Amino acid sequence: QKGGYAHFMLKEIFEQPDVIHRATHAVSEETLPSSLRDAKSITVVACGSSYHAGMIFRYLLEPACGIPVRLELGSEYKYTPVPFSDVIIGISQSGETADTLAAIRKGICNNVRTVAITNVLNSSITRSAQDTILMHAGPEISVAASKSFLAQVGVLMQIVNLLSGRQCIDILDHARYAIEQVLLTDLTDAVDICSSADHLFYVGRGVFYPVMMEGALKMKEISYIHAEAYAAGELKHGPFALLSPETPVIAICSPGQAYEVMLGNMKEMKARGTPIIAFGLENDTDVRDIADVVIPIPEVHPWIQVLTSTVLLQLLAYHTANRLDREIDMPRNLAKSVTVE
Ligand code: F6R
């Protein structure tokens, strides 16, 4: 049942403080599959939101461990040459996505070790892969992934911890409190802008690029607004031609190595009359001077920023879709499990 929430999706978004706690404890030193512990190279295969989780994993694992991560869309993997990594991770919340299952089977046929990360015990992927890590998000009713996506990211962050020997588990333990805090954010001004737009751009750099891809996917699937995510540096290579007062941009400008360059990018967009919704620290006057609306983000470790920004983007999509009176839990043309190629 919806437990007093207007939609299952909102209920599931609000479950995330507990979900992240369970997901980050879903795998430990003792239960980490040996194929991952020994891997010198990893291929991740997934679709949709799960692919975005895989992309976040690549941004975090490669600098932490120096292990190269090849990332493939499930639907394209069959067209690539024989896998060359030591292990294939298939990420699928439902455990039933045909393309991701096919990738796991291709790995097995080529003697590559396989690991499934899924939310569903006894799903098809758990029966195909040699090892399974369950993410313990709990049942997800809403077609659009919210808590299952965050749980995937939580599990993958914990894998980075275990493989790098950096015990950031205490950092992840703070995630639930930071998420509780952002769940209370008032997004009315940002929703005003988004709900009257036909097109939205989402931009970020580094690990925040896949976070924005996920935010844009959520917006398009439940609000039906065309939303496109770009690595911020790519806008100049074409999409800049589309910027106008009618194409709001949602940008993430969190402290870190990409901060200055993101500020510069936002100024360039502003010069085209583009309304800017920026994710930035509450007391950041530079962001406030450029942006039309600032969505405040807490001052926390970058991994926690990934999680809290994801939650804020889910809420932005949810409230925009709700304003437009969309059928949020069952968007048109979509299904929870995609069992055909
Ligand atoms: C988006 C969404 C889809 C799924 C995709 C893969 O909100 O839910 O993009 O992420 O269909 O599904 P799984 O993870 O079940 O393989």
278 Ramachandran zone, left/alpha/beta (phi>0; psi -120 to 50)? beta
pLDDT for res 200:
98
Q: Which residue puts its alpha carbon closest to atom 13 of ligand 1?
A: 92
Residue 278 has φ and ψ, to the nearest 5°, of -115, 135
pLDDT for res 255:
86
Token readout for 325 is 């009176």
Residue 300 Cα to ligand 1 middle (Å): 28
Residue 102 Cα to ligand 1 middle (Å): 15
Q: Give the per-residue SS3 of 86-97.
A: CEEEEEECCCCC
Residue 291 Cα to ligand 1 middle (Å): 32
Whether residue 167 is predicted with pLDDT greater than 70 in this model: the reply is: no
Is-contact 125 118, C-beta < 8 A?
yes
Q: Catalytic site residues? A: 336
pLDDT for res 288:
96
pLDDT band at residue 170 using 50, 70 and 90 as cut-offs:
confident
Whether residue 139 is predicted with pLDDT greater than 80 in this model: the reply is: yes
Task: Provide mean pLDDT across the span 24-28.
Answer: 94
pLDDT for res 80:
86
Q: Which of 47, 100, 126 to mutate to test the pocket of ligand 1 (most atoms within 8 A of CB)?
A: 47
pLDDT for res 309:
98
Write the CB contacts of 283 (distance below 8 Å, at least 6 apart in sequence): none
pLDDT for res 141:
94
Token readout for 42 is 């990893």
Pocket of ligand 1 (CB under 6 A): 47-50, 92-94, 97, 100, 144-145, 217, 221, 337-338
pLDDT for res 168:
65
Task: Provide mean pLDDT across the span 176-192.
Answer: 97
Is-contact 269 234, C-beta < 8 A?
no
Residue 146 Cα to ligand 1 middle (Å): 10
Sheet holding 113-118, edge to edge: 69-73, 42-46, 87-92, 113-118, 131-134
Block residue for tokens 């939303």: 227
Write the CB contacts of 274 (distance below 8 Å, at least 6 apart in sequence): 243, 244, 245, 247, 248, 249
Atom of ligand 1 nearest to the CA of 49: 10
Distance of CA 201 to the CA centre of its chain: 16
Residue 85 Cα to ligand 1 middle (Å): 24
Token readout for 210 is 């896949």
Average pLDDT, the chain: 95
Distance between CA atoms of 100 and 92, rounded to whole angstroms?
7
pLDDT for res 338:
81
State how beta strands 249-252 and 87-92 pair. unpaired
pLDDT for res 157:
96
- pLDDT tens digits, 191-218: 999 999 999 999 999 999 999 999 999 9
> Helices 16-24 and 147-164 meet at what angle, rounded to 10?
30
DSSP string, 235-291: GGGTGGGG-STTS-EEEE--SSTTHHHHHHHHHHHHTTT--EEEEEETT-HHHHHH-
Q: Which of 52, 56, 97 to mutate to test the pocket of ligand 1 (most atoms within 8 A of CB)?
A: 97
pTM of the model: 0.97
Residue 279 has φ and ψ, to the nearest 5°, of -85, 120
Atom of ligand 1 nearest to the CA of 143: 8
pLDDT for res 45:
97
Which of 185, 166, 119 minimizes the C-alpha distance to 303?
166
Atom of ligand 1 nearest to the CA of 95: 15
**DSSP label at 201?**
E
Distance between CA atoms of 203 and 213, rounded to whole angstroms?
8
Q: Which residue puts its alpha carbon closest to atom 14 of ligand 1?
A: 92
Is-contact 93 120, C-beta < 8 A?
yes
Neighbours of 181 (CB within 10 A): 16
Atom of ligand 1 nearest to the CA of 337: 15
